[in-house]
Amino acid sequence: MSFPLLTATAALPAVGAIATAAVPAERRTAAKWLALLVSLGTLALAAVQLVRFEPGGDRYQLTESHAWIKDFGVRYELGVDGIGVALIALTALLIPFIIVAGWHDADPLETHSSRWRPTQGFFALILAVEAMVVLSFEATDVFLFYILFEAMLIPMYFLIGGFGDRAHEHGDEAAATQRSYAAVKFLLYNLVGGLLMLAAVIGLYVVAGTFSLDEIAAARANGSLDMATNTERLLFLGFFFAFAVKAPLWPLHTWLPNAMGEATAPVAVLITAVVDKVGTFAMLRFCLQLFPEASKWATPVILVLAVISIIYGALLAVGQRDIKRLVAYASISHFGFIVMGIFAMTTQGQSGATLYMVNHGISTAALMLVAGFLISRRGSRLIADYGGVQKVAPLLAGTFLVGGLATLSLPGLAPFVSEFLVLVGTFSRYPAIGVIATLGIVLAALYVLVLYQRTMTGPVKAEVQGMPDLKVRELLVVAPLIAILVFLGVYPKPLTDIVNPAVQHTMSDVHKKDPKPVVEAAQ
Average pLDDT over residues 258-284: 91
pTM, full prediction: 0.90
| The predicted structure's pLDDT at residue 110 | 53
Residue 376 domain-assigned? yes
Task: Please check the confidence at residue 3 and state whether its pLDDT lies above 90.
Answer: no
Residue 152 domain-assigned? no
Strand partners for 75: 67
Residue 3 domain-assigned? no
3-class secondary structure per residue, 403-448: HHHHHCCCCCCHHHHHHHHHHHHHHHHCHHHHHHHCHHHHHHHHHH
Query: Please, which pLDDT band fits residue 67 given cuts at 50, 70 and 90?
Result: confident
Residues in the chain: 523
Going by C-alpha positions, the residue among 387, 398, 362 that lies closest to residue 470 is 398
Q: Residue 363 gets which letter from DSSP?
A: H
pLDDT in tens, 30-39: 999 999 999 9
Residue 342 domain-assigned? yes
Residue 223 domain-assigned? no
The DSSP H or E segment spanning 74 is strand 74-80
Residue 95 domain-assigned? no
Domain span at residue 372 reads 295-324+331-492
- How many structural domains does the chain have? 1
What would you measure as the largest C-alpha separation in the chain, in angstroms? Answer: 84
Going by C-alpha positions, the residue among 234, 268, 252, 513 that lies closest to residue 366 is 268
Residue 253 domain-assigned? no
Residue 358 domain-assigned? yes
Q: Which of 18-27, 283-292, 508-517 has the lowest mean pLDDT?
A: 508-517
pLDDT in tens, 199-217: 999 998 888 888 888 888 8
- Do residues 265 and 103 make contact, with C-beta atoms less than 8 angstroms apart? no
